[in-house]
Structure 1
C-alpha cells in the first residue's frame, strides 16, 4: 500500500514564512502531507483543541526555530513551545532545526526584549536536548529537512495514511489469511526438499564490508578546521555504509556524506567545509561502488550544480534492510557494541 505520512510543521510565523514554505515544499515533494498553523488562527485559544487533535494524528513533528520566541498564551509560554511540548508528551518523533549562530539574519526579525530572548534561549536549549540540525538559509533548511525526514521515516516508520480504496476489505483480508497459511505450508515443504544450502550473497558482502577498515580524520568546528588538530578515527566499511545508507535511499552528495559520517563522531561540532577529506570520501564511495552497493544518482540537477550525487543500488537497498539481522546472526559487532566497550 502507498502510505503517506502526516508531518506537522511548527514555528513562529511572520519571521519564518519563507522558511516554512520551503519545508512544506520539501514534504510535498516527498509525497507526504504537511500540516501547520496556516490551517488555524495562531493566537486563538479556542483553536487549541483543533491543533492538539492534528498533533495527535501526526506521524512526525518538525520544529523550526529562528530568532523570535513568538506570541504567548495566558500562561506565558509561546504557542510554538506549547505545540512542541504536546508533541513530545505524545511520543511523536520530533525533528529540530535551529538557526545557526553564523547565519546572516535581518534585525527586524530578531526579538529585542530581554524577557523574550531569555525565553527563546531556554526553548532552544530544550529543542537541542534532542538531536537537532542547524540551518543557515531557507534552501539549506529545505535540504536538511528532506534528508532528516527520509532517514527518520526509514528507521522509525509510523502508522501513516492510505487511500480507502487501497485498504483491504474483509473478503481480501480473509483471502490473505488463507494464502498466508498456504504459503507457510509450501515453505515448509520446500525446506524439506533442500539438501544443499545456497550461498547467501548479502551475508558474504556484509562480511567483506566488516573485514575492511578505513582510517581518516574528522575536523571539528571547535578546532577551526585545522587538520593537525583533527580527530583520528577508524571505521569498518560496514559501519560507514550503515551511517550513510539511509540518506542514499533518496540521494546524497559527496559533501553531505562527509557530514553524515562526521556527525557520528563529533556530533554537531563538525567543521562545515569538508569535515573529512574529499579524497577519503571518494575512496569510501569507490569501495561501495565496486561492491555494487552505491551508484551515481540518476536524478537531474542544475547545470550549475557541481556536486557529485549518489544513491543506493537495488543490492544496496537489500543490504541496508538485512544488515542488522545479519550482524546479530553472525555475531558481528555493531556501532553500539563498540561504544559500550568504552565503559
Structure 2
C-alpha cells in the first residue's frame, strides 16, 4: 500500500510566499501532504495549541529562513522559531534551509528592526547547528528541498499515512498481533521440545553404548558360604535390563542384588541375604548413578529402616523403555520370575 508523509512547512510568511509555494508544490508532486501557516488563522495563543498538535502528528518539519525574523510571541521569540524549537523537542526530523548571505534579495523583504535582526542572526545560528542547505533563489530552494526530503524519508523513515480502506481495522490488527505472538511462542515451544527430544535421544544412545561396552565380574552365592559362590561376567547393559524394572518405583540395594541373582539363576535359588556381595552391588549402582540412570529415592521410610533405596531417573526410565521396546519387537519379552524373597 502507498504511504504518504505529512510535511510541516515553517517560515515567515509575507516575504517568503513564492518560496513557500514552490515547496508546497514539490511536496504535492512527490505525493505527500504539506501543512503550514496557510491552514491556520491569525497567530495567537489558542492557535498555537492547534499548531503544536499539528506538529505532533507530522512526519517531517521543514524550516525556511531568509532575512526577516517575523511576528513575535509573548515569549519574545518569533512563531517560526517557536515552531522550530517545538518540532526539535518532539524529535520530528528537521529539514533546514537558510538563504545564502551573498544571494540577491530585495531590501523590501529585509528586517529593519535592530532587535529583530539580532534575534534573526541568533536563530540562523541555531538552525545552522543542524545539517542545513543554503539556497539562493526559489528554484534552487525547491530542488534542494526535494532532494533533502527524499534522503530524509530513506534515512529516517517515519510512520506516514495510508488510506483507511487499505489497512486492517484495529480489532483485526490486534488479533493479528495476538496470533503472531502466539505463533512465535508455539514455534519456540516446538523448537525447545525438538531440542529436548534430540538431547534425550543422544543421552539414551550414549548410555546404551557405555553400558554395552563395560563388563562386570561378580560372585553369586546360593548358600551362606562364599567359598561355594559361582563367578559370572555380564555387561552393565544386561544387568541394567535385569534390575531396572523394579527401580521404576524404588528398590533397596539389597533388592537390586536379589533381582540380579533371580535373573542370572532364572529362579529364587539364591541365598537371600546379599546373594551378590554388598560392595559389588554398591559398585554396580554407582556405575548407574554415574550415567545418571538412578538416584536416591525421594520416598520417606521409617527411622528403623536402614536400607538405602534407589529409583530410576528420567533418563533411566527412557533407557528402560528403549530396552523393553527392543525386546518386545524381537518377541523376547519374558514374564518375570517369581521370587519368594522379600526386599529389605
TM-score, scaled to structure 1:
0.51
Give the aligned CA root-mean-square deviation in angstroms: 2.4
SS in 2 for 1:77: coil
- Using the TM superposition, give the Cα deviation of residue 10 of structure 1 relative to its aligned residue in structure 2, in angstroms: 0.1
Q: Which residue is equivalent to 2:147? A: 147
SS in 2 for 1:140: helix
Partners of 1:102 and 1:26 in 2: CA distance: 25
Larger Rg: 2
Shift in alpha-carbon separation, 1:172–1:107, aligned structure 2, 3 A: closer
TM-score, scaled to structure 2:
0.51
Partners of 1:90 and 1:171 in 2: CA distance: 30
Q: Which residue is equivalent to 1:13? A: 13
Moved over 3 A (4+): 169-178
Residue deviations 1:236-274 (CA, integer Å, cap 9, x gap): xxxxxxxxxxxxxxxxxxxxxxxxxxxxxxxxxxxxxxx
- Using the TM superposition, give the Cα deviation of residue 111 of structure 1 relative to its aligned residue in structure 2, in angstroms: 0.5
Partners of 1:140 and 1:159 in 2: CA distance: 29
Residue deviations 1:186-209 (CA, integer Å, cap 9, x gap): xxxxxxxxxxxxxxxxxxxxxxxx
Q: Which residue is equivalent to 1:59? A: 59
Q: How does 1:226-305 map to 2 (within 5 A)?
A: none
Is the contact between residue 62 and residue 94 of structure 1 (CA under 8 Å) also seen in structure 2?
Answer: yes
Q: Which residue is equivalent to 1:97? A: 97
Report how many residues are paired: 186
- Using the TM superposition, give the Cα deviation of residue 80 of structure 1 relative to its aligned residue in structure 2, in angstroms: 0.5
Q: Which residue is equivalent to 1:76? A: 76
Shift in alpha-carbon separation, 1:50–1:172, aligned structure 2, 3 A: closer
Q: Which residue is equivalent to 2:37? A: 37
For structure 1, the 5+ residue unaligned runs are 186-343
- Using the TM superposition, give the Cα deviation of residue 3 of structure 1 relative to its aligned residue in structure 2, in angstroms: 1.1
Q: How does 1:96-245 map to 2 (within 5 A)?
A: 96-169=96-169, 170-171=171-172
Shift in alpha-carbon separation, 1:162–1:124, aligned structure 2, 3 A: same
- Using the TM superposition, give the Cα deviation of residue 181 of structure 1 relative to its aligned residue in structure 2, in angstroms: 5.7
SS in 2 for 1:71: coil
SS in 2 for 1:8: strand
Is the contact between residue 64 and residue 98 of structure 1 (CA under 8 Å) also seen in structure 2?
Answer: yes
Shift in alpha-carbon separation, 1:172–1:49, aligned structure 2, 3 A: closer
Shift in alpha-carbon separation, 1:172–1:110, aligned structure 2, 3 A: closer
- Using the TM superposition, give the Cα deviation of residue 44 of structure 1 relative to its aligned residue in structure 2, in angstroms: 2.2
Partners of 1:74 and 1:118 in 2: CA distance: 18
Partners of 2:97 and 2:42 in 1: CA distance: 20
Is the contact between residue 42 and residue 79 of structure 1 (CA under 8 Å) also seen in structure 2?
Answer: no
Partners of 1:126 and 1:7 in 2: CA distance: 21
Partners of 2:98 and 2:155 in 1: CA distance: 22
